[in-house]
Structure 1
């Protein structure tokens, strides 16, 4: 399978295995941003259509990526913004509960913490069984077992941001439907690199930051809102989301109706003339790669690495219980994290530490040599007693 490193500006001396932190910009995305800034020099370069055309194209591209109608896709500046729209419209009663996976990213925790405090809800954070031989399976089972008739909402990611644990969204959807609860998914660490089909999973909401696996710029992401939110109240009221907003002359004729679909939840100034062209270019490229290809390519890259590391005593989840694009390497309790961190830094191998997990997240710009370099460093550290 083919590496696409030539499409990026990554220095040859750097081994970048950290897409879960931030994706490097594609050359084409960088060029789109530069051209957008140049165009912004002159206000006369923009027509009324420019406030709408590229954002509509983005909705179509993201809809294609997740197999959802573009009318249900909106631009958001962040995951926290997208989740705030959800939290504002959830109907929960005192004494009910919200289910979360433990230690998930804060933007998918704080909205539910506030909602629980304001409405007298129980916030349940579900951890894996620390004694289980199969940690990932136990985590999924515990999540399913925690859902009961008092559950009003389950908020999880598709893959856990720290170690890549795959959560069984279809099983969670079936269980939440049985008890009448919502399923809200943070797709930041999966969508773009791991297939996600809205028609199969049927989440009530899906929110994604754009600067990781969607390969876009920072401060612009995407959300999908299902039928539950069709008559909801957005966190802000802005002109561009109302009926007939494309008629600039008639904007003083205030409209009580929103545009159709989920558009009411889209962030104000969503036309963002600098970032929108970059995200559009990125989404088109991701759709050209396809998540299926990215999973296959990264799976091929990591296969021998994972086998070698397991032989050296490292703990890594089995295939099918984590993504190929993101996995955690768990260390022994006596690991000298600081020494290992220095070694990786000195060798210019860029990864992330998340809790007790060394997080590895390759993408299409990586090569077999990158993974071999990581393997050599970790296996040598194990031999020398650093681990």
Structure 2
């Protein structure tokens, strides 16, 4: 039986005090994650822990992540950041152009920029007026393209990229597709994972509710043989691990790409992934997109602008605008960050710009609180 939104919300003590809409930056910690971390620290403090057992926990998390993504365990590499994932792929690219949005998050941008620009020139793509980012990227793809790297949704604007179109365009010329799903997996996850890009990277400390330092990459089976570990070590070999002496071969599949999994982040990640496994993905997506659409509509009515209106990509199976991240702007800079903070609204706000992110733990009361605070903010600034 799936956990519904009300029960899920109850797992977050911080929501008794705050209307939390800053998950694009960081979510509050759920109780199961805090309990797992507290127990592990207590056992370390008392000496009642087995380091071999705690070191093996990421292997169980890999299994659970594979289930959430709908892939085989052998397709999941355990890392500590999206930058590691991108750098791993960058180190094994064939010659050719790399296309990246000019405004891409730097963890998914810089690993390509430091490549040999004679062999793998990086082209920073910007959309022309009236053109979506997806259209701009697709228009640049050609026979000389080695890879397109893009985030499924950027927290800076909340716009979804049309990954289905990019998958078709890159596949037609044999180019690879690297997707950073950090800002979507956990809310829109299945709609992204079903596309099966060549590489799908996620840092779990956003929507997946993991501690920072637990990240992973899903690697399509036909791409695994061409990749090499970024920092090979004993975790690049098969379980049970060996520690000394030569190794004839690395682990099979994406497991060989594993980096050193820090204990506490992956203890917390195990609890977070199990919490997500208790949810109905379709219910999560519908709940979040419905609330986000109500936020966008309410902010428009208050006179704010929504960047990218008319360029939105519907989420798979949804008639909504498609993104759980809402960005609104005030041309006359009338937003009041201090007032929102005083009302207990956690969001990224400046006088000119407001960013909100809707998770499954949010409800109508959060939307109402935001819209009231923004309305009062605008009234106060007019006087």
The equivalences for 1:268-279 within 5 A come to 268=260, 270=261, 272-279=262-269
Structure 1 residue 347 displacement after superposition: 2.4
| Residue 359 (structure 1) aligns with | 355
Q: 1:198 to 1:73 in 2, by over 3 A?
A: farther
Residue 224 of structure 2, aligned match among 203, 206, 229 = 229
| Residue 327 (structure 1) aligns with | 326
Compute the RMSD of aligned alpha carbons. 2.6
Say yes or no: does 1:68 pair with 2:71.
Answer: yes
Structure 1 residue 314 displacement after superposition: 2.5
Say yes or no: does 1:368 pair with 2:361.
Answer: no
Unaligned runs of 5+ in 1: none
Say yes or no: does 1:214 pair with 2:229.
Answer: no
Which whole-Å CA distance do the structure 2 matches of 1:156 and 1:116 have between them?
20
Which whole-Å CA distance do the structure 1 matches of 2:323 and 2:227 have between them?
37
The equivalences for 1:73-222 within 5 A come to 73-92=76-95, 96-115=96-115, 117=117, 119-130=118-129, 132=130, 138-196=132-190, 200-222=194-216
After TM superposition, the runs of 4+ consecutive aligned structure 1 residues lying more than 6 A away are: none
Q: 1:89 to 1:356 in 2, by over 3 A?
A: farther
Say yes or no: does 1:291 pair with 2:281.
Answer: yes
Decide whether the 8 Å contact of 1:353 with 1:359 is kept in 2: yes
Q: 1:126 to 1:330 in 2, by over 3 A?
A: farther
| Residue 255 (structure 2) aligns with | 263
Q: 1:49 to 1:260 in 2, by over 3 A?
A: farther
Larger deviation, residues 321-330 vs 366-375:
321-330
Per the normalisation by structure 1, the TM-score is 0.87
Which whole-Å CA distance do the structure 2 matches of 1:357 and 1:288 have between them?
35
Structure 1 residue 279 displacement after superposition: 0.4
Which whole-Å CA distance do the structure 2 matches of 1:371 and 1:197 have between them?
25
Which whole-Å CA distance do the structure 2 matches of 1:148 and 1:328 have between them?
33
Structure 1 residue 343 displacement after superposition: 2.5
Q: 1:274 to 1:122 in 2, by over 3 A?
A: closer
Decide whether the 8 Å contact of 1:194 with 1:323 is kept in 2: no
Decide whether the 8 Å contact of 1:102 with 1:127 is kept in 2: yes
C-alpha offsets along residues 81-117 of structure 1, whole Å, 9 cap, x if unaligned? 111111111112xxx4211123121101111111153
SS of 1:342's partner is helix
